[in-house]
Structure 1
Amino acid sequence: MPDMRAHPPTRVANPKVVVTRELPDAVMDRLEALFDATNNRGDQAMDRAQLAAAMADCDVLVPTVTDDIDADLIAQAGDRLKLIANFGAGVNHIDLKAARQRGIIVTNTPGVLTEDTADMTMALIVSVPRRLAEGEKLVRSGTWNGWSPGGMLGHRIGGKALGIVGMGRIGQAVALRARAFGLSIHYYNRHRLPAVLEAQLAATWHANLDDLLAAADIVTIHTPLNPDSRDLIDRRRIALLRPHVYLINASRGGVVDEDALVDALEAGRLAGAGLDVWEHEPRIDPRLLAQPNVVMTPHMGSATYEGRIATGEKVIQNIRMWADGHRPPDQVLEGWA
């Protein structure tokens, strides 16, 4: 089994690159200037047959989260495919084990979307308790009769306990923002942060996820999706949340058991939710759509011009390093989490 850490690739002159989705013009233009690149400028997602054809005849594939690069597709790939340079940080849509067995390097784009995703998370944390989506719909409906003392009452977030599940780059960026809103910071992470960083964030570590969920007023999730985190917030753990709690998810839909979440919302066992990701994207459970206390956004946590261009630059850096015969800076190993 090839170990790409020990044996970096040989130099590849003018590699053939296939990009599966339309990227910002500046990124696509740069790809075409640097490599023998085929861009998907129509932005119609490739079907399975198109992905297989691309993988059979390119050196580098640049997929996105919408492309399911499973073991069967990797097994059919041509011998020249040696790099899958993912456009995005999450790689749960790529079979890393199958890629490694074929000697294919996988890279991602960590770090560039931290601030954008943290901003979106903070927006959801504010908007759900304050009922901003409900208020906006009321104004647009034409039925609003003006201010009243009891109209559109929500809850303030200052003084509440924010439970952060996953305290990596994004979790820490959310903590910094949340402190400015007067939230106390609690977190669960597989590894405790250094004491200095905990002090800077004024964050309290919970060694047990169940304990964090039972203590928080607002829970926000920031873990990658992998076998260990799938349905991490399952029916049992959702039952640990108190009825006044709001659940925020801008990470990956599969981290939360969506059926259990809907059941809890319908039964009034949760105060509400803010969701930017879905278990079966782009399909959304109609029962969720019917919940007035759920703020829903279309997986737009990273959707800024700056973020998309920075992601493309990361992809280009990884391809250039690989093509020059070096190990790419953002190589993903099979045990990625």
Structure 2
Amino acid sequence: MVCVLYDDPISGYPTDYARDDVPLISRYPDGQSVPSPKEIDFTPGQLLGSVSGELGLRGYLEAAGHTLVVTSDKDDADSAFERELVDADVVISQPFWPAYLTAERIAKAPALKLALTAGIGSDHVDLQAAIERNVTVAEVTYCNSVSVAEHVVMMILGLVRNYIPSHDWVRKGGWNIADCVTRSYDVEGMHVGTVAAGRIGLAVLRRLKPFDMPLHYFDRHRLSQDVETELNLTWHDTVEDMVAVCDVVTINCPLHPETENLFDEAMLGKMKRGAYLVNTARGKIVDRDAVVRALESGQLAGYAGDVWFPQPAPADHPWRTMPNEGMTPHISGTSLSAQARYAAGVREVLECFFEGRPIRDEYLIVQGGALAGTGAHSYSAGNATAGSEAAARFRRTGGGEVSE
């Protein structure tokens, strides 16, 4: 078993935490139960998503006679991931630090039976190749949907209220009120729309309703009349129709061939001048350079993203330096609260896999040579991993040499 996780903190794996616990929930808003493995070998609230955290899996797997290799070295041809892949029965990866399972890599792994995402989003797997090779693809659906929705709301407020530049003035020792407010507005009365209203998109809409913002959505699966009435939603049958009337657009759809480069030059040109775009879905859903040009021209007033392509992004990625941005590394879905759920979900899937029990339908993306479960509802067959080899440039361009 090969598990690819992000690096430990540069100050070392934590020995204590800011809080003594995290709130525990039993069910998600739609009634789905949280992950329910037979047991866990970690304390919720610990850092589990980094290399030393190991998702709390080592004791369980080694007691069952399995070999677990955990690494953050995933991209170069001579990486630890490449070396271990040839013997792997199971690959566990994250959306935040993805081990891209291209068709070429899947072909190098003759024993591979399960590609498991510790989190949500399996676009780092070539789904077409997994279908053809009969590899099961699974993820821990809903484990961090609310975590991401909270991050979206934070980013919307941060952009519209010009929070980050204002905070920077304080850190510089200034009191530059005029500089801060010349790009600061109220969200009240602004029209906001989400591309997709699934678990994350709907959670965003629910959290924005109290801000008195007219709410819009596009989704190929229309919500019920009851939900539309409850939240006073306007449904649009095309993305183009929705973005034309919105001051804020948030992208909450999965990446697959139908959504890749959805927000290209033409789509950005259909948005209102001075609109804000928030993307916590996947970096490849937007055209990287078109976003930069839209910010430089003023077509977009701001762009906040938690997702890049590839991940990790090279140090010279233009989104690191473009104007009026609110970028973060891919952290929205890996809060310590969310980690407890996605680590437990990985354990649950592995228990089912090893014991020959069915994996929850909501966790399945590909099974039996076809899209399955959530995959059949939300994805399309094909490949969205093209270009992922550029992730190897992260360390070569200095991205792995960050210091405090």
Contact 1:164/1:220 (CA < 8 Å) preserved in 2?
A: yes
Q: How does 1:45-84 map to 2 (within 5 A)?
A: 45=74, 47-49=76-78, 50-65=80-95, 66-79=98-111, 81-84=112-115
> What is the letter of the counterpart of residue 93 of structure 1?
H
1:124 to 138, 151, 155: 155
- Are the aligned partners of 1:278 and 1:284 in contact in 2 as well (CA < 8 Å)? no
Aligned CA RMSD, in angstroms, stands at: 2.2
Q: Which residue of 1 aligns with 2:3?
A: 19
Distance 2:60 2:72 in 1: 16
Select 2:365's aligned residue among 323, 332, 335: 332
SS in 2 for 1:111: coil
AA paired with 2:184?
A: G
For residue 178 of structure 1, report the CA deviation from its aligned partner: 0.6
Change (3 A) 1:25 1:92: closer
In structure 1, the partner of 2:45 is none
SS in 1 for 2:343: helix
Change (3 A) 1:153 1:95: closer
Structure 2 residue identity aligned to 1:232:
L
Match of 2:145 in 1: 114
Give the distance between the partners of 1:231 and 1:33, measured in 2 at CA: 42
Matches within 5 A, 1:85-164: 85-142=116-173, 144-145=174-175, 147=177, 151-164=181-194
Is the contact between residue 31 and residue 37 of structure 1 (CA under 8 Å) also seen in structure 2?
no
SS at match of 2:258: coil
- Does the C-alpha gap of structure 1 residues 26 and 136 become closer, same or farther in structure 2, counting only changes over 3 Å? same
For residue 195 of structure 1, report the CA deviation from its aligned partner. 0.9
Shift of 1:151: 4.5
Q: Give 1:313 deviation, angstroms.
A: 1.2
Query: Which piece of structure 1 moves more, 188-197 or 120-129?
Result: 188-197
Q: Which amino acid aligns with 2:57?
A: M
The unaligned stretches of length 5 or more in structure 1 are 1-16
Q: Deviations over 1:70-117 (max 9, x none)?
A: 1111112133x3212222211111122222322221111110111110
Q: Report the equivalent of 2:57.
A: 28
Q: Distance in 2 between matches of 1:123 and 1:325?
A: 42
State the TM-score, normalizing by the size of structure 1.
Answer: 0.87
Q: For 1:195, give the aligned amino acid.
A: Q
What secondary structure is seen at the aligned counterpart in 2 of 1:296? coil
**Shift in alpha-carbon separation, 1:149–1:75, aligned structure 2, 3 A:** closer
Measure, in 2, the Cα distance between the counterparts of 1:26 and 1:276. 22
1:248-306 deviations in Å (ceiling 9; x for gaps): 11110000112111111111112111111123331366654444421111111112112
- The counterpart of 1:253, out of the listed 277, 283, 300, is 283
User: What residue is the counterpart of 2:395 in the other structure?
Assistant: none
Equivalent residue for 2:297?
A: 267
Q: Tell me the amino acid that sits aligned with residue 164 of structure 1.
A: T
Structure 2: stretches of 5+ with no match in the other structure = 6-50, 380-404
> How many equivalent pairs are there?
318
Q: 2:242: which partner in 1?
A: 212
Distance, in Å, in 1 between the alignment partners of 2:316 and 2:230 is 40
2:389 alignment counterpart: none
- Secondary structure of 1:294's partner? coil
Paired AA for residue 27 in structure 1: G
1:32 partner amino acid: L
Residue pair 1:52, 1:77 contacting (<8 A) in 2 also: no
CA distance in 2, matches of 1:291, 1:47: 28
Q: Deviations over 1:111-136 (max 9, x none)?
A: 01111100100000100011000001
The code of the aligned residue for 1:99 comes to A
Contact 1:24/1:308, CA 8 A, preserved across alignment: no
Could you state the TM-score of these two structures normalised by the residue count of structure 2?
0.73
State the identity %.
28
Q: Give the secondary-structure state (helix, strand or coil) at the position aligned to 1:183.
A: coil
1:3-57 CA-partner distances (Å, limit 9, x unpaired): xxxxxxxxxxxxxx221222635623454355424142x6444644433432322
| C-alpha distance in structure 1 between counterparts of 2:315 and 2:75, whole Å | 22
> Could you tell me how far apart the structure 1 residues matched to 2:75 and 2:266 are?
38
Alpha-carbon distance between aligned partners in 1 of 2:221 and 2:287, rounded to the nearest angstrom: 24
Name the CA distance, whole Å, in 1 between partners of 2:245 and 2:147: 27
Could you tell me which amino acid in structure 2 is paired with residue 297 of structure 1?
T
Partner of residue 260, structure 2: 230
Q: Verify the 8 A CA contact 1:161 1:217 in the aligned structure 2.
A: yes
1:294 and 2:278 matched? no
